Amino acid sequence: MMHLLAQTDSFGSVELGHYLMTSSVLFVIGLIGFLTRRNMIVMFLCTELMFQAAAIAMIAFSRFHHDLSGQVFVIFILTIAAAEAALALSLVVLLYRRKETLSAEAWSELRET
């Protein structure tokens, strides 16, 4: 841990790695949220968080490589996220009508065995 303290001046410039680190931390938080939450809507919100993390990484790559394709990919990520939100939410509405609960475990009998 010693070299951590010696690196305090490294807060000076922001490089690609900083953005990638932010993006991977956001992604992992989204993953943990998806695994721990039991409310179906919040689980889908966590997938949106993971999309968000991917978008940050894409934009950072696009800036540091001078290639605009990264930004174009974010447009497609937005499209997929919107389509996913529409379909997932209508499924949630459908499931909620059947069982009157948002708990994902209410549907655990769908698994095999």
Partner 1 sequence: MDPKLFLTASVICIFASVAMWMLVKANTRAAKGIAAIVGIAAFLGLLSNVGMSQIESTQKPEVFFYLFSLIAIACSVMMITSAKPVYSALYFVMVVLSSASLFLLLQAEFMAFALIIVYAGAILITYMFVLMLAQQASDPEMEQEQAEYDVNPREPAAACIVGFVMLTLLSSMIFQSMSDMPTPPSASDSRIAAWQTFDSMLGSKQEIAFVQRVIPAENAGWNGVHDDDGNLIRFEGDEAYIQIAQGEETLRVVLEDRFAPSNVELVGFDLIAKFPVSLELAGVILLMAMFGAVILARRQIELSEDEVREAAGMARISFEALEPDSNGGESP
Closest by alpha carbon to 40, among 104, 84, 109, 95? 104
Q: Which is nearer to partner 1, 44 or 113 (CB)?
A: 44
Q: Output phi, psi for 39, to 5 deg.
A: -90, 125
Q: Which is nearer to partner 1, 3 or 111 (CB)?
A: 3
Min separation Cβ 77 and partner 1, Å: 10
Min separation Cβ 54 and partner 1, Å: 11
Collapsed DSSP state (helix, strand, coil) of residue 39: strand
Q: Which is nearer to partner 1, 16 or 112 (CB)?
A: 16
Min separation Cβ 91 and partner 1, Å: 6
Provide the β-strand partners of residue 39. Answer: 103
